[in-house]
Amino acid sequence: MSEVAIVTGASQGLGRAIAAALLGAGYRVAVTDRDLGLAEDAAQALGGDADRLLPLALDVADKAAFEAARDAVLARWGRLEVAVGNAAVTLTTPVMRITPEEFDLVIRVNLRGCLFGGQVFGAHMARAGYGRLINIASLAGQNGGTASGAHYAASKAGILNMTKVFARELAPSGVTVNAIAPGPLDLPSVRAAVPPERLQTLVDTLIPVRQLGDADFVAATVVHLASRAAGFVTGAAWDINGGVFMR
């Protein structure tokens, strides 16, 4: 029987690419978004196969929503092996203009989503004796960001560190926890957030390979880390950033 994955923020962009890659690799996939209608639209765009796709509403700032999503997946398929934490608020407000309300929103959504996903999905996987948790972090969490806001960068740095905490906690139970830290990707959301002239300057002057990243490659990396063969990889951050950040 096919393994089961759940992807947060899967209605568009990188999240949808990840859901598509997992589906293509043979997983059954729960496609989630805070807006159930958007999750349903995404499931239809991915093929609409009710046997292999389950659209769910999931507000990642709400732990009870994670528990409800877990229960819905188990009620449908009876198992859950892979969870991908992708949902995030991405804002580019200059640091001196970030309001308290905006800061709290970004931190609340991005860090709560990582914490609750690790707690709820990780605990289930630990009880089952196997699982793969994969968090989508960011280059911004490593170098402070090239075009993103300070609150976004801070939240992604937190995700990188929380990934390590959960990796240590869950490793004895057969559950690995890893992060992927992409640089700027060629996605509509990136092009909408950064003015065209500034984006071209970033590509020409800050990215050594002189191109934006490929969301499908990031999605393929998720599939790689989700495999049973990836049991010796945990607590890691996989850098996919065109050479902006090297270590």
Measured from the Cβ of residue 243, the count of other Cβ atoms closer than 10 Å reads 12
Helix (H, G, I), strand (E, B) or coil at 174: coil
Measured from the Cβ of residue 145, the count of other Cβ atoms closer than 10 Å reads 21
Stated length of the chain: 247
237: left (phi over 0), alpha (psi -120 to 50) or beta: beta
Residue the block writes with tokens 């607590």: 235
- The H-or-E segment that residue 11 falls in is none
CA distances from 225 to 18, 85, 125 (A): 12, 13, 15
| 152 classed as catalytic | yes
32: left (phi over 0), alpha (psi -120 to 50) or beta: beta
Walk across the sheet containing 82-85 and list its strands: 53-57, 28-33, 4-7, 82-85, 131-136, 175-182, 237-240
Residue the block writes with tokens 């293509």: 24
CB 39 within 8 A of CB 15: no
**Catalytic residue of the set 152, 183, 212, 222:** 152
Query: Catalytic residue numbers?
Result: 152
